[in-house]
Amino acid sequence: MDEIDRKIAIAVQEDGAAGLAELAKIAGLSVSATAERQKRLEERGVIIGWHARLDPKQAGCPLLAFVRLALKPGEADAAFRAAMAQHEAVMECHHVTGNWSYLVKLRLPDMPALEEFVSAELRTLPGLERLAVDVALSSIKETSLLPVAPVEDEEDE
């Protein structure tokens, strides 16, 4: 990825609905050259999809919770992963280091929905050793924008 690709990648993250003319200005290229660059970024897997960001409250899932889970060593890892992958309330699921096996980010309508999810979906999982739930009181920053790494100078390569 060169500096022009980087500019395009940053711009489409910030505004995926930006037109090619706007991206061309940012990239300093013609519209057709920008379109070709964008297409190559998609083909190379740098751009992996196009999405709209929704307001959680307006979408009916204002409650944000994080669940830390520990599974018994060697038990039910695949079943846990499959269960988390299929549930729409699971925004993120990460296998982590430390005293926990997984960290799960949830978006739900309210506390009763969280209680139901924990009781019906998590506590019933085979191999569950322990879990802890943290509910976010407010969010200072929540983003899906990646910090695109600067392009290294050719001399450094």
What 8-state DSSP symbol labels residue 89? T
Distance CA 14, CA 54 (A): 14
Q: What is the pTM of this model?
A: 0.85
Per-residue pLDDT at 155? 55
Comparing CA positions, the residue from 49, 44, 39, 40 lying closest to residue 13 is 49
Cα Dmax for the chain:
58
pLDDT band at 11 (very low <50, low <70, confident <90, very high): very high
Domain ranges of the chain: 3-52, 63-135
State the fold for domain 3-52.
Arc Repressor Mutant, subunit A (1.10.10)
Confirm whether 3-52 and 63-135 share one CATH topology: no
pLDDT at 76 over 80: no
Residue in the structure block whose two tokens are 């992958």: 85
Return the exposure string of 103-131: e unless at least 16 CB atoms fall within 10 Å of the residue's CB, then b: bbbbbbeeeebbeebbeebbeebebbeeb
pLDDT band at 75 (very low <50, low <70, confident <90, very high): low
The pair of structure tokens assigned to 99 is 């005293």
pLDDT at 74 over 80: no
pLDDT confidence of residue 154: 55
Asked whether the CA dihedral 96, 44, 4, 7 is positive or negative, the reply is: negative
Q: What is the mean pLDDT of residues 135-155?
A: 87
Range from 36-50, 64-78, 88-102 carrying the lowest mean pLDDT: 64-78
Give the integer Cα–Cα distance in Å for 105 and 131: 13
- Whether 128 and 69 have beta carbons less than 8 Å apart is answered as yes
pLDDT digits (tens, 9 = 90+) for 120-142: 999 998 889 999 999 999 999 99
What is the rounded CA–CA span in Å between residue 143 and residue 55? 12
Residue 111: which pLDDT band, with cuts at 50, 70 and 90?
very high
Evaluate whether the domain defined by 63-135 bears CATH number 3.30.70.920.
yes
